[in-house]
Protein backbone atom coordinates (compact mmCIF):
# COMPACT_ATOMS: atom_id res chain seq x y z
CA UNK A 1 0.00 0.00 0.00
CA UNK A 2 1.23 3.48 -0.81
CA UNK A 3 1.76 6.17 1.76
CA UNK A 4 -0.31 9.28 1.12
CA UNK A 5 0.66 12.74 2.32
CA UNK A 6 -1.73 15.68 2.55
CA UNK A 7 -0.44 18.74 0.69
CA UNK A 8 -3.46 20.99 1.16
CA UNK A 9 -7.10 21.24 0.17
CA UNK A 10 -9.43 22.16 -2.63
CA UNK A 11 -10.48 25.66 -1.62
CA UNK A 12 -12.85 26.80 -4.36
CA UNK A 13 -14.09 26.36 -7.89
CA UNK A 14 -12.66 28.63 -10.58
CA UNK A 15 -14.61 29.50 -13.69
CA UNK A 16 -17.32 27.41 -15.36
CA UNK A 17 -15.22 24.53 -16.74
CA UNK A 18 -14.67 22.66 -13.47
CA UNK A 19 -11.28 24.15 -12.58
CA UNK A 20 -10.42 24.14 -8.88
CA UNK A 21 -8.17 26.18 -6.63
CA UNK A 22 -5.80 23.96 -4.64
CA UNK A 23 -4.32 25.69 -1.57
CA UNK A 24 -1.11 23.84 -0.67
CA UNK A 25 1.63 23.87 1.96
CA UNK A 26 4.51 22.78 -0.26
CA UNK A 27 6.60 25.77 0.80
CA UNK A 28 7.32 26.99 -2.74
CA UNK A 29 5.64 27.97 -5.98
CA UNK A 30 4.73 24.73 -7.66
CA UNK A 31 2.98 23.71 -10.85
CA UNK A 32 3.12 20.09 -9.58
CA UNK A 33 5.46 19.30 -12.48
CA UNK A 34 5.69 15.56 -13.03
CA UNK A 35 2.60 14.77 -10.93
CA UNK A 36 -0.10 13.03 -12.96
CA UNK A 37 -2.54 12.11 -10.21
CA UNK A 38 -3.80 13.51 -6.92
CA UNK A 39 -5.85 11.64 -4.35
CA UNK A 40 -8.91 12.74 -2.42
CA UNK A 41 -9.91 10.92 0.75
CA UNK A 42 -13.58 10.04 0.30
CA UNK A 43 -13.75 8.01 3.51
CA UNK A 44 -11.13 7.45 6.19
CA UNK A 45 -8.16 5.70 4.51
CA UNK A 46 -10.03 5.39 1.19
CA UNK A 47 -8.15 7.41 -1.41
CA UNK A 48 -9.69 8.06 -4.83
CA UNK A 49 -7.34 9.02 -7.70
CA UNK A 50 -8.08 12.05 -9.88
CA UNK A 51 -5.93 12.55 -12.95
CA UNK A 52 -4.52 16.00 -13.60
CA UNK A 53 -5.14 17.58 -17.01
CA UNK A 54 -3.57 20.94 -16.29
CA UNK A 55 -2.04 22.96 -13.45
CA UNK A 56 -1.44 26.71 -13.50
CA UNK A 57 0.41 28.51 -10.71
CA UNK A 58 -1.73 31.15 -9.02
CA UNK A 59 0.72 32.19 -6.26
CA UNK A 60 3.15 30.62 -3.79
CA UNK A 61 0.35 28.85 -1.91
CA UNK A 62 -2.20 28.09 -4.63
CA UNK A 63 -2.60 26.55 -8.07
CA UNK A 64 -5.50 26.30 -10.48
CA UNK A 65 -5.98 22.62 -11.20
CA UNK A 66 -8.04 20.93 -13.92
CA UNK A 67 -8.99 17.31 -13.20
CA UNK A 68 -10.04 14.71 -15.76
CA UNK A 69 -13.82 14.21 -15.78
CA UNK A 70 -14.55 17.39 -13.80
CA UNK A 71 -15.94 19.64 -16.53
CA UNK A 72 -18.55 21.80 -14.80
CA UNK A 73 -18.66 24.18 -11.87
CA UNK A 74 -21.21 21.83 -10.22
CA UNK A 75 -18.89 18.82 -10.53
CA UNK A 76 -16.07 20.88 -9.02
CA UNK A 77 -18.29 21.93 -6.09
CA UNK A 78 -19.06 18.27 -5.29
CA UNK A 79 -15.36 17.67 -4.56
CA UNK A 80 -15.04 20.50 -2.05
CA UNK A 81 -13.79 20.95 0.53
CA UNK A 82 -11.45 18.00 0.28
CA UNK A 83 -7.96 17.30 1.55
CA UNK A 84 -5.59 16.64 -1.36
CA UNK A 85 -2.99 13.90 -1.07
CA UNK A 86 0.03 12.84 -3.09
CA UNK A 87 1.75 9.49 -3.08
CA UNK A 88 5.04 9.49 -1.17
CA UNK A 89 7.32 9.70 -4.22
CA UNK A 90 5.49 12.72 -5.69
CA UNK A 91 5.24 14.33 -2.25
CA UNK A 92 8.99 14.17 -1.71
CA UNK A 93 9.68 15.68 -5.14
CA UNK A 94 7.18 18.52 -4.71
CA UNK A 95 7.83 19.65 -1.15
CA UNK A 96 10.46 22.30 -0.55
CA UNK A 97 13.01 20.78 1.82
CA UNK A 98 12.61 23.85 4.04
CA UNK A 99 8.82 23.50 4.23
CA UNK A 100 7.49 22.25 7.58
CA UNK A 101 5.42 19.72 5.61
CA UNK A 102 8.69 18.01 4.62
CA UNK A 103 8.96 16.77 8.23
CA UNK A 104 6.10 14.28 7.78
CA UNK A 105 7.27 10.78 8.61
CA UNK A 106 10.36 11.99 10.50
CA UNK A 107 11.12 10.58 13.94
CA UNK A 108 10.97 12.96 16.92
CA UNK A 109 13.57 12.83 19.67
CA UNK A 110 13.57 14.95 22.79
CA UNK A 111 16.85 15.75 24.58
CA UNK A 112 15.42 14.61 27.91
CA UNK A 113 13.04 11.77 26.91
CA UNK A 114 14.73 10.35 23.83
CA UNK A 115 12.65 8.92 20.95
CA UNK A 116 9.00 9.98 21.13
CA UNK A 117 7.44 8.77 17.90
CA UNK A 118 6.89 9.58 14.22
CA UNK A 119 5.40 12.79 12.87
CA UNK A 120 1.91 11.91 11.60
CA UNK A 121 0.74 15.44 10.78
CA UNK A 122 2.19 18.94 10.51
CA UNK A 123 -0.02 21.84 11.60
CA UNK A 124 1.21 25.28 10.59
CA UNK A 125 0.25 28.08 12.96
CA UNK A 126 1.10 31.80 12.59
CA UNK A 127 3.99 31.78 15.10
CA UNK A 128 4.98 28.11 15.18
CA UNK A 129 4.52 24.66 13.76
CA UNK A 130 2.88 21.83 15.70
CA UNK A 131 3.66 18.22 14.90
CA UNK A 132 1.31 15.38 15.80
CA UNK A 133 3.04 12.36 17.29
CA UNK A 134 1.55 9.35 19.05
CA UNK A 135 3.31 8.80 22.39
CA UNK A 136 2.36 5.48 24.01
CA UNK A 137 -0.80 5.42 21.89
CA UNK A 138 -1.88 8.95 22.84
CA UNK A 139 -1.99 11.80 20.35
CA UNK A 140 0.43 14.59 21.30
CA UNK A 141 0.85 17.99 19.65
CA UNK A 142 4.43 19.17 20.03
CA UNK A 143 5.64 22.70 19.23
CA UNK A 144 8.47 23.12 16.75
CA UNK A 145 9.72 26.68 17.15
CA UNK A 146 12.87 28.67 17.91
CA UNK A 147 12.78 27.62 21.58
CA UNK A 148 12.13 23.90 21.11
CA UNK A 149 13.94 22.99 17.87
CA UNK A 150 17.50 21.76 18.37
CA UNK A 151 18.10 20.48 14.82
CA UNK A 152 16.59 18.67 11.89
CA UNK A 153 18.67 15.69 10.76
CA UNK A 154 17.45 15.18 7.18
CA UNK A 155 19.86 12.31 6.51
CA UNK A 156 18.46 10.23 9.38
CA UNK A 157 14.97 11.77 9.12
CA UNK A 158 14.93 12.86 12.75
CA UNK A 159 13.74 16.08 14.39
CA UNK A 160 15.63 16.82 17.61
CA UNK A 161 13.67 18.86 20.13
CA UNK A 162 14.22 20.25 23.61
CA UNK A 163 10.64 20.40 24.83
CA UNK A 164 9.50 22.46 27.85
CA UNK A 165 9.48 20.68 31.20
CA UNK A 166 6.19 18.96 31.90
CA UNK A 167 4.92 18.87 28.32
CA UNK A 168 5.55 15.14 27.77
CA UNK A 169 3.97 14.37 31.17
CA UNK A 170 0.74 16.00 29.94
CA UNK A 171 0.47 13.20 27.37
CA UNK A 172 1.99 10.31 29.31
CA UNK A 173 0.90 11.02 32.89
CA distances from 38 to 41, 66, 86 (A): 10, 11, 5
Residues 22, 91, single domain; the answer is yes
Residue ending a domain, among 95, 125, 146, is: 95
Task: Classify 92 as helix, strand or coil.
Answer: helix
My answer on whether omega of the bond before 45 falls inside 30° of 0, hence cis, is no
pLDDT tens-place string over residues 34-61: 899 999 987 777 899 999 999 999 988 8
Q: Determine if the pTM surpasses 0.75.
A: no
Position 97 pLDDT exceeds 80: no
CA distances from 65 to 13, 54, 135 (A): 10, 6, 37
Residues 71, 145, single domain; the answer is no
**1: confidence class by pLDDT, cuts 50, 70, 90:** very low
Residue ending a domain, among 95, 116, 150, is: 95
**157: confidence class by pLDDT, cuts 50, 70, 90:** very high
Pairing status of strand 4-14 against strand 19-24: antiparallel
CATH code, domain with 116: 2.30.30.240
Length of the chain equals 173
Find out whether 49 and 42 touch, Cβ atoms under 8 Å: no
Amino acid sequence: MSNYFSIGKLASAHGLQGDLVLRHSLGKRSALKGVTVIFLEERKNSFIPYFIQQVTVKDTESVYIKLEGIDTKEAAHKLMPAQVYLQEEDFKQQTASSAPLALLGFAVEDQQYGPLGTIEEVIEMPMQVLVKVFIKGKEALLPVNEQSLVKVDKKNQTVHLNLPDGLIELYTG
